Amino acid sequence: MTKTPNDWLDLATKENKGKAPSDWQTDEGIAVKPLYTKADLEAMGHLENLPGFSPFVRGPKATMYTGRPWTIRQYAGFSTAEESNRFYRKALAAGQQGVSVAFDLATHRGYDSDHPRVTGDVGKAGVAIDSVEDMKILFDGIPLKDISVSMTMNGAVIPILASFIVAGEEQGCTRAALSGTIQNDILKEFMVRNTYIYPPEPSMRIVADIIEYTAKEMPKFNSISISGYHMQEAGATLVQELAYTLADGREYVRVAIAKGMDVDAFAGRLSFFFAIGMNFFMEAAKLRAARLLWARIMKDFGASERSQMLRTHCQTSGVSLQEQDPYNNVVRTAFEAMSAVLGGTQSLHTNSFDEAIALPTEFSARIARNTQLILQHETGVTKVVDPLAGSYYVESLTQQLADEAWKLMEEVESIGGMTKAVEDGLPKRRIEEAATRKQAGIDKGDTVIVGVNKYRLETEDDIDILQIDNTAVRKSQIERLERTRKQRDPKACEAALKALENLAESGKGNILEAAVVAARARASVGEISDALEKAFARHKAVPNVVSGVYAEAYGDDPEYNTLVQRLTDFAKNLGEKPRLMVAKLGQDGHDRGAKVIASAFGDIGYEVIAGELFETPAEAAQSAINHKVHVIGASSLAAGHKTLLPELVAELKKRGAENIVVITGGVIPRQDYDYLKERGVAAIFGPGTNVLEAARGVLDLIEGKLSNR
């Protein structure tokens, strides 16, 4: 006799000591049942789909990895072009199949290395590129006609892509032969990552000009990588990442069509970029759902079947990596890589285990790269197309994710499209709320992170980390920049920059085309960016803080309410709430941690001032004095802490404000703690710190400071 789900439920309840198995609620609000059966697959139209055919749920290629495995990439940039070039060449020799460039934050924001705003950012978290000369060194000995190059660049996309094109020409590779991808996804920057330069409208014009130029001149080059990665890293749920990424893509297609382009002339060179976190099956289902929805979107534009194909690069999560017990990160990355492969990615970057602490060492990068080589050669996953096809659970997740994401996309459409939604701030608010909710779950222990809030080691051993001498790198960059400026034809350079500025102001002509002329005349990245800034102005975001999410998550938690009462009593005695300013110093726009802290501390009872992004230490010090704060909390994720935090302490002292307590948090190696404390930083809250513990610690510091007056 055939057994039914009810028979299973009776047996499972009996085995579970009389308690019926219950659904698991994911962060996306999707109820995951403990059992899936054939009945869950009824009325799913995508099940009859085969790989290589629209809507491509089972893969964009008919043979997938049985014909050719995914491309192994390693996203990296180390201080100088020389150091990065050495790493790339070694990695390519060891099995890496393409180059993925990480730029430093000064470059991302369109500043040359000699700009006073970037003293702590040059060569940190990526490679410094100031001109074509740096770009030529970056790819020295790497044949651009044979090697695919991926560049994560959005704000300064025009000068970087122009410099790359000229470097290729001077290496003997025509622009038509260049292959690779430029990220060029500015809408995502306004939502989460914040390495924008110009306001949304002219930024969208830049996107369209790049799509147009590459479609005509660079047929092997992907003009855009529409990125959900940074959304998930900023705290987005998988539904939000999926919905807002595809909504961004739809907006980019619209601006290209509005420029007079035929959809099939450029759609084949659009690519995507997704994060892969620890929800193993849902991440695989997300990639399948993305292909399903993108085919639907492109069909509405009248695109051919080939143009309905979504191709994607994936990167394992950086946020899932932990400072505590860091070798666990090797395991996390391996699971995430397997999930991306089972979801059908076209290329993959695996993060190194030490990236929650510092830039990866060569040792850790080799482990990350070998993770993919083992997947390709030892696990058998490349022998079958879409191994998860037909899974009751995975197919149901695929459909649920598609349905829920489509609802959010329709909401964006009701506002007037993604540009309007970004200007309104809707996606940013939603993602910040999700991030705060997720952190509250971790702090409460509802979400288990092994080695962080459960099974934690009593003592942590230090690991070897990569240290970058920021001062030496900046000095080297400035010297080469000065040589380049002396050796170029000043009149030709000035004329090219003026022509670029005039073209940008007029709204006519192609910005990238004019920038290539300027780069060839050895205009620097900063000079090209400045020419566009004269025409477009520099965008400045208004900081805001989500409220109520942390308080709602904690509800009647005794520990939380005890701390709230303590702050209430303190405020009564002091006559005002304790004031905390959350500061982002330098060009680091990653503000997830800062926003979570601001939101949580505000709910607990602090008065929180959200500092502006991209402040110098002097600006942050003056702002703290103006707001009469008790504490400045500086969030650091980009390795500039050893330069910027001592400068902040010095600026406060210079202004007679030593009474303001300086604390910091974020990606700071334990080896640097003593260095910072010796220079006036009162406390350091590293990755994985419980927010309630941090709030108590900050209050202790304020009380101690006031009692010593």
Residues labelled as active-site residues = 75, 229-230, 584, 588, 590
DSSP tag of 103: B
Which DSSP letter does residue 665 get? E
**β pairing state of 221-222 and 180-182:** parallel
Q: How far apart are CA 502 and CA 494, in angstroms?
A: 12
Amino acid at 456: R
Give the separation between CA 442 and CA 231, rounded to whole angstroms.
19
Please tell me the distance from the alpha carbon of residue 595 to that of residue 18, in angstroms, as a whole number. Answer: 44
Gap between the Cα atoms of 676 and 670, Å rounded: 10
Amino acid at 593: G
In DSSP terms, 137 is beta-bridged to: none
Ordered DSSP codes for 202-267? HHHHHHHHHHHHHHHH-TTEESEEEE-HHHHHTT--HHHHHHHHHHHHHHHHHHHHHTT--HHHHG
Q: 475 Cβ partners below 8 Å, 6+ apart?
A: none
Question: Where do runs of H (alpha helix) occur along 50-143?
Answer: 81-93, 105-108, 132-138
Return the axis-axis angle of helices 558-574 and 592-604, rounded to nearest 10°: 70
Using DSSP's 3-state secondary structure scheme, residue 671 falls into: helix
Q: How far apart are CA 34 and CA 26, in angstroms?
A: 13
- CA–CA gap between residue 627 and residue 617 (Å, rounded): 15
Enumerate the β-bridge partners of residue 31: 25
Which amino acid is present at 450? V
